[in-house]
Amino acid sequence: MDLLEPTFSDTTDLILRAVAFAAHKHRDQRRKDKEASPYINHPIELAHVLWDEGAVRDPLVIAAALLHDTLEDTETSWQELRGEFGEEIADIVLEVTDTHWIKKEVRKRLQVAKAKHSSERARLVKLADKICNVRDLGTRAPANWSLERKRQYYDWAKEVVDRLRGTHAELERRFDEVYALKP
């Protein structure tokens, strides 16, 4: 057995620590849907999509999916993530993080431009994020979003995913299925 290969116990510990960390960091956050769902449901759903629908078994990807919004939406720093989870996971999370001080339209264009040049692990997290976000628009969209805003999000998400094509055929197919339901 390769001594560098993580054991089931190591993998389980990493994923459970990532869930606990994300739950703590997002503890006071709610989604913008009518029910104001707990925010932590979103990162857990990403991990679920990767594991169950994409058969992704890389524990670094699953942990990064659980942590993917901590830099963007909480007071977490890259250094804190690195200290808790290591540089590889912190870097994946950083790759999928938007910079909030840039105007929204510029951030969206940057996300499209950066998608193709991201690491494979970051592309997997981004694919799962777009699948979950588009699914949520169909079932529990933000209460104040107009039909036009939803349509614009669908199209922008497709632009990002189109730059990720060739990363994971099954996840790309899943995105295409939910995109086909565009209102």
pLDDT at 161: 98
pLDDT tens digits, 98-133: 887 788 889 889 899 999 999 999 999 999 999 999
Q: Is residue 69 within 8 Å of 92, Cβ to Cβ?
A: no
Active site includes 75? no
Catalytic residue among 33, 73, 84, 98: 73
Q: For the chain, what are the domain ranges?
A: 8-179
pLDDT at 131: 98
CA neighbor of 22 nearest in space, from 86, 76, 60? 76
pLDDT at 64: 98
Catalytic residue among 58, 72, 84, 159: 72
pLDDT at 17: 98
Q: Containing H/E element for 128?
A: helix 120-139
Non-local CB neighbours of 161 within 8 Å, separated by 6+ positions: 115, 127, 130, 172, 175, 179
Active site includes 73? yes
Q: If you compute the radius of gyration of the chain from its CA atoms, what whole number of angstroms results?
A: 16
pLDDT tens digits, 56-66: 999 999 999 99
Q: Is residue 53 within 8 Å of 8, Cβ to Cβ?
A: no
User: Domain 8-179 adopts which CATH fold?
Assistant: Hypothetical protein af1432 (1.10.3210)
pLDDT at 4: 59
pLDDT at 1: 40
pLDDT at 2: 46
Q: Containing H/E element for 89?
A: helix 87-95
Instruction: State which residues of the chain have pLDDT below 70.
Output: 1-5
